[in-house]
Copies of this chain bind each other. A is one copy, B any other.
């Protein structure tokens, strides 16, 4: 079964620019992608990378210069088998998460992202569905499913809901990540717990107090 992962090749994760350089963002985006694809493959899925520009990667790569929705819907149109669509910025997902999604009897499994987004969709019959990302896409996807008479399971997972989009989101990756992206982030940044809200920062004060216990952070 296919797992499609859309990936922005140039200037990925631009909203992390408040904290990370362009090289660091590229590296982090690539490592998140690696982590996610590793998890999907562990669960036996065939990964298709939907890239915005030519990209060398050890997977089937489909390059499209269309917008995300058109590109994905074109892919779905050509599929008769179930398809999972996974965003490239949800590095906390685990093989257990993916296996739980695969087990669902529903026609559509949808994992909400924060702020109304959609992070993972598992579409049993791509011929009876289309995607509509951006904005409150979670609500749009529920409606598309309803319009097509599909049963829906909302996948309740903190891991799947944590998309790394803005600097504040890096806290989740820093604290809860177990893959190479988290390892990299921890090597270039620190947790600032000195003020009310926990933040990821580039200097290293307070890093001692806020280090992640080894056992929890261990790469699986």
Contacts and interface: CB of A to CB of B under 8 A. Distances in A.
Interface size class of A (residues with CB under 8 A): 35 or more
A157 interface: yes
Number of copies of this kind of chain in the complex? 2
B175 A116 contact: yes
Interface stretch (A55-63, A68-76, A191-199): A191-199
Contacts of A139: 175, 210-213
Contact of A213 (B94, B135, B143, B161): B143
B215 A136 contact: no
Contacts of A126: none
Q: Which of A97, A139, A146, A157 has the most CB of B within 10 A?
A: A139
A94 B158 CA distance: 14
A198 B112 contact: no
Given A115-B197, A146-B213, 15 more contacts: A97-B156, A115-B171, A115-B172, A116-B175, A136-B175, A136-B193, A136-B198, A136-B210, A139-B175, A139-B212, A139-B213, A146-B215, A154-B216, A158-B161, A161-B161
Interface of A: 94, 97, 111-112, 114-117, 135-136, 138-139, 142-143, 146, 154, 156-162, 168, 171-172, 175-176, 191, 193, 197-198, 210-213, 215-216
